[in-house]
Amino acid sequence: MATSRTTGGPRGRTVLTYLESRKNLAGSACGVAGLALTLAGVAGAYWPLVVAGLYGAGALIAPPERTAPPPFDPREELGVLREDFGRLRGYVDGVELPPGPAEALAELLELYGALLEPGWVADVLAADPEAVHAVSRAVRQDVPESVDAYHRTRWWSRMAPGGESPERHLERQLGLLRDEAQRVTAGLHEVEARRQQTHTTYLEERGRS
């Protein structure tokens, strides 16, 4: 009949885990030192207490076991963000905007789309958590809020004319988002430029050697 190394079930696995833990290994090392003291005649008749005490002290001072954090693939986050970006495109395609804001929004979405397009550009983006956060915030929050607020405010402006036009606010918001997207793009470009410069320096130093 076949047997299993984990016959003890969860309790057996728990015992095995402790036997292999740092605490048990450190305690065992100190316990061995206690046995050495016993053989040297230092512990006397109280050697069991000495060995047990040293084992406990070793187990107490040993560093705790560390559970490694789960690995996260930033490309998976970009995959989800691409899906949200597709929904954003579908949303803005169904809204009516004045020519100026409509053109600005189209340019902004084109820039986001270029950054999120699968390939090496998206890989560079994925390596920069702050850049991913900026694009994610814009796609999931800022752009939808700007367009929705424009439509709501425009309705109220028709009911009670006066004040700064909703179109003007929308243009300003899209301009600020465009500036932010351009800063993100410039930052990613700088990363690639540094990478190129580093390789040039490496080749020059290799040539001199």
Domain ranges of the chain: 12-61, 74-208
> Would you state the pLDDT for residue 72?
65
> Would you state the pLDDT for residue 83?
95
> Would you state the pLDDT for residue 6?
45
> Would you state the pLDDT for residue 90?
95
- Alpha-carbon span 22 to 38, nearest angstrom: 24
> Would you state the pLDDT for residue 86?
96
Per-residue pLDDT in tens (0 to 9) along the chain, 209 residues: 444 444 455 555 655 555 556 666 666 777 676 666 566 666 566 667 666 776 776 666 666 666 666 666 767 889 999 999 999 999 999 989 999 999 999 999 999 999 999 999 999 999 999 999 999 999 999 999 999 999 898 877 776 676 678 899 999 999 999 999 999 999 999 999 999 999 999 999 998 87
> Would you state the pLDDT for residue 125?
93
> Would you state the pLDDT for residue 156?
72
- Alpha-carbon span 67 to 202, nearest angstrom: 38
Which residues, including other chains, have CB under 8 Å from residue 92's CB and lie 6 or more apart? Answer: 105, 109, 143, 147
